[in-house]
Chains A and B, each alone.
Chain A
Amino acid sequence: MSHCENRVETPVVATAEARQEFAEKVLPILESRFGAVRDEDDQWGFTVVVEGAQLRNVVLFLRDGHEYRVNMLLDVVGVDYLGFKDYTGPRFAVEYALKSVYNPSRRIRIKVRVSETDCKVPTISDLFPIANWQEREVWDQYGIVFENHPDLRRLLNHAEFQGHPLRKDYPAHKRQWLSTNDFLLPELEARLEAKGYKIISRSKEVVPDAEEYLTGSIKQ
């Protein structure tokens, strides 16, 4: 009987009051323990600015340090403030959007400011596995390096691509021709081997030179 009652429990809904309450409860702890500052630019949400060195501690604390359990990483976003109106500060920022799966009103955004000269942020891909690809994307588009990331390669752009296209100083009409498509077979073979398959013959990459690509056919 009690089992049935549990099933018809009213769903938890996000309300403005609940959000306000969450922010008021969590902000003092973050301020006192990690030196976080609430971002006043974010008028509708709840954003805190922390130092890069404190990022992992903050994320770890929010994930399993207290009763609220903000345990879902929604997104990792890069920001380029070059040419932003009335802004004086480090050029880049990385934002982490977190949310609790138990209560949708528990939402928080963590912002880390990154200077152009020291373009580094500690990775959180060991705390949230989803951050692996999200951080790869931010590195791909903005060139922000995530320290101790296990596999920091390009995600969206091609391996031959030069530069980071979502930076504000990347020329908008610049086009880059690529000579070859992605060679993903070794990765696939490694994955098959890890599952216990035997690779009989390894594939070899075809590397056409630039002239050949433009003039004629690709040799075998």
Chain B
Amino acid sequence: MDTQAKEAGIFTSTVDFVVNWGRKNSLWPFPYGTACCAIEFMSTESSRYDLSRMGSEYVRFTPRQSDVLVVSGTITYKQAPILKRIYEQMAEPKWVISMGACACSGGFYDCYCTVPGIDHIIPVDVYIGGCPPRPESFFDAMFDLQNKIADESYMKERAERVRDQLEAIQLKTAECKEELISCSHAKVDELKGKAEGLKRDMIKKATFWKEP
């Protein structure tokens, strides 16, 4: 083991480190742009600032292929169910960046139609202030998000998830068992009743034919 590790082409690491390294350097954003912050996001993406330098190579326009939901712009109450639905369609692991004053807190729209911050609907990982924020602050948020991802533990998460699933399965099994037992009891009762009825009928018939 010792000699093997010293050979070229082999190094040792933890699963967590490798997984997090992969995740944090290939964050594909989903641009949920509803206002002027989306314009700033476009300039972040394009060649002058070039977000793909840090692995956000593609902007995916489907929630099923993206990792980061970038909510850039004002969210109205009419828009809120759509945003929630998009978030639910994203596959795990997923993160959310709330970009700009409107998405963070409703901004200066203190009115009947604007959601006062998207954290009323979905969990948010990183907030960016500004109206609209500059591309530099977006980069800052991405670095923050990368640091956050580096702290996550894949194995721990997995263990938790497996435990949760196991508990859920056990719970479901117990439920099913109970249901089955009660169902079979009901069935047995029903059959017994049926048999009684048949017996009664037979007796009735027999007594009828026995009479002269």
Interface presence of B77 (CB below 8 A):
yes
Interface presence of A181 (CB below 8 A):
yes
Interface presence of B108 (CB below 8 A):
no
- Determine if B112 and A170 form an interchain contact, defined as CB atoms under 8 angstroms apart: yes
B:70-124 near A, CB below 8 Å = 77-78, 80-82, 84-85, 88, 110-113, 116
Q: Give bound CA distance, A175 to B80, whole Å.
A: 12
- Determine if A177 and B80 form an interchain contact, defined as CB atoms under 8 angstroms apart: yes
Residues on B with beta carbons closer than 8 Å to the beta carbon of A20? none
Q: Give bound CA distance, A55 to B62, whole Å.
A: 51
- Determine if B88 and A217 form an interchain contact, defined as CB atoms under 8 angstroms apart: yes
- Chain A 174-194 against B: per-residue CB contact (8 Å), 1 yes, 0 no? 111111111000000000000
Q: Give bound CA distance, A170 to B111, whole Å.
A: 11
User: In whole Å, how far is B122's beta carbon from the nearest beta carbon of chain A?
Assistant: 12
The total of Cβ contacts below 8 Å across the A-B interface reads 35
- Determine if B81 and A175 form an interchain contact, defined as CB atoms under 8 angstroms apart: no
Among A173, A175, A180, the one with the most B-chain Cβ atoms within 10 Å of its Cβ is: A175
Checking B78, B81, B82, B112 against A213 with a beta-carbon cut-off of 8 angstroms, the contacting residue is B81
Residues on B with beta carbons closer than 8 Å to the beta carbon of A178? 77-78, 80-81
Checking B81, B111, B116 against A181 with a beta-carbon cut-off of 8 angstroms, the contacting residue is B81
Residue of A nearest to B85 (CB): A218
- Chain A 4-31 against B: per-residue CB contact (8 Å), 1 yes, 0 no? 0000000000000000000000000000
User: In whole Å, how far is A192's beta carbon from the nearest beta carbon of chain B?
Assistant: 23
Given contacts A172-B111, A178-B78, 11 further A-B contacts (CB under 8 A): A158-B77, A165-B113, A172-B112, A174-B112, A175-B112, A176-B112, A181-B78, A182-B78, A213-B81, A217-B88, A218-B88
B contact set with A: CB distance below 8 Å = 77-78, 80-82, 84-85, 88, 110-113, 116
A contact set with B: CB distance below 8 Å = 157-158, 165, 170, 172-182, 213, 217-218
